[in-house]
Amino acid sequence: MSVAAAAEALFWAGALFILYTWFGYPLLMAGWARARPRPVRRGRGHQPTMTAVVAARNEAAGIAARARNLLEQDYPTELLDIVLVSDGSTDATAEIIQALAAAEPRVRAIVLPENVGKAAALNAAVEQARGEVLLFADARQRFERNVAAMLAENFADPAVGSATGELMIERGGGVAEQVGLYWRYEKWIRRNEAASGSMLGATGAIYAMRRELWRPLERGALLDDFLAPMRAVLAGARAVFDERAIAWDRPSERSEQEFRRKLRTLAGNYQAFALEPGLLLPWRNPTWLRVWSHKVFRLLAPYGLVLVFGGALFAPGGFYGALAVLQGVFYGLGLAGIAAERRGRPVRSRVVRLAATFIVLHAAAVGGLWVWLRGGSAAGLWRKAYQENEG
């Protein structure tokens, strides 16, 4: 095979891979949900006992408001309690949650003297949970008052193992606008996955699962919101989505902040597959096709882009040459946008912001592999994660 023919073949292999990953699979899920829907048999007014869990590190500024938000849920007070964990905080977080526990019988405080990571902090909290259902919340976001009630109704269906709510991103400028657009795209996929069977994991800032299906997380595990619900899926349960339950969050304001957030998430995906390889096996995981298409292929997407760009550079003809130029311009605009943002200059062009976000997402996939292969970076990533919680 000639160099030109090989380049052309690589271009189309990469292009088809990228098209399936970002467009084909979402459309497949939309068609699947329409052709073979699996509605959740929600029980109106179903109210199991529930324990809300919040693991926090250095959240003195907002932990009291977060606890009040959970205490004010429209749910019977005798059925909802709260466990707050301070994970080696060096500010006043520990003192605040202890004062909350002293003043409110429904609140229990756990103070860990050293920073052990979010996974270990959640394990400590679940050990003291009394509820049949665990409600996981991060310290930063705010729940609508009906979240506990709406998520609880999903557990009237015995097939449901976990239920996640909808994380709404407040409006913002710059990278925030493009992140919000990406998040809406991602929620559309998750909604269709859930409607046709099971979504993959949960939204970390707002999800619930049956206490009996919880398995202690390995210390240093990065993605509780993926591992815990997917282990329930491996056990035969469904992971579903309930758009009636809403949490509110602030968007990332800078590409650098969004990169760190995605770096943690994608490094966590690599780690999750190493901890639970059965997720990739058809005979173990009923959602294996979704895992490969939604998670694994996203991790491989940057290498598909390399094939598309490299193939276009070396394939013969003006068509490929024009595509190579367009790709180069797009990436150049994105890099220029990131550089301008780092210098504190506002980026007003939507195309430039889109290109910058596109680069950030794919660079994080490559960086996530590097972080995971190096090991030992989980603690540092989680220190950032406590302050930049993701949904």
pLDDT digits (tens, 9 = 90+) for 111-136: 999 999 999 999 999 999 999 999 99
pLDDT band at 252 (very low <50, low <70, confident <90, very high): low
Residue 311 and residue 14 in contact, taking contact as beta carbons nearer than 8 Å: yes
The pLDDT mean for the chain works out to 90
Question: Residue 358 has which token pair?
Answer: 């596109």
Q: Residue 268 — left, alpha, or beta (φ > 0 → left; ψ -120 to 50 → alpha)?
A: alpha
pLDDT band at 342 (very low <50, low <70, confident <90, very high): confident
Rg for the chain (alpha carbons), in Å? 22
Rounded to whole angstroms, the Cα distance separating 199 from 287 reads 8
Sequence ranges of the domains in the chain: 50-252
Based on the number of CB atoms within 10 Å of its own CB, is 114 exposed (0-12), middle (13-18) or buried (19 or more)? exposed
Average pLDDT over residues 235-260: 83
Rounded to whole angstroms, the Cα distance separating 311 from 317 reads 12
Half-sphere exposure of 78 (CA within 13 A, CB side): 0
Rounded to whole angstroms, the Cα distance separating 115 from 335 reads 36
Provide, rounded to the nearest whole percent, the portion of the chain with pLDDT above 70.
91
Question: Residue 299 has which token pair?
Answer: 């991790």
Residue 89 and residue 56 in contact, taking contact as beta carbons nearer than 8 Å: yes
pLDDT band at 261 (very low <50, low <70, confident <90, very high): confident
- 3-class DSSP state for residue 250? coil
Amino acid at 40: V
Amino acid at 165: G
Range name among 126-130, 285-289, 351-355 with the lowest pLDDT average: 351-355
Average pLDDT over residues 57-73: 96
The pLDDT tens digits for 178-193 are 566 777 899 999 999 9
In this predicted structure, what is the pLDDT of residue 376?
46
248 - beta bridge partners? 142, 168
Rounded to whole angstroms, the Cα distance separating 224 from 272 reads 9
- Cα torsion 290, 138, 376, 123 to 10°: value is -90
Based on the number of CB atoms within 10 Å of its own CB, is 113 exposed (0-12), middle (13-18) or buried (19 or more)? exposed
Which one, of 122, 117, 68, 113, lies nearest residue 93 by Cα? 113
In this predicted structure, what is the pLDDT of residue 253?
55
50 - beta bridge partners? 80, 133
Which one, of 354, 304, 363, 300, lies nearest residue 330 by Cα? 354
Residue 386 confidence (pLDDT) above 70: no
Q: CB under 8 Å to 190, separation ≥6 — which residues?
A: 164, 199, 200, 203, 241
pTM for the structure as a whole:
0.88
The CATH topology of domain 50-252 is: Spore Coat Polysaccharide Biosynthesis Protein SpsA; Chain A (3.90.550)
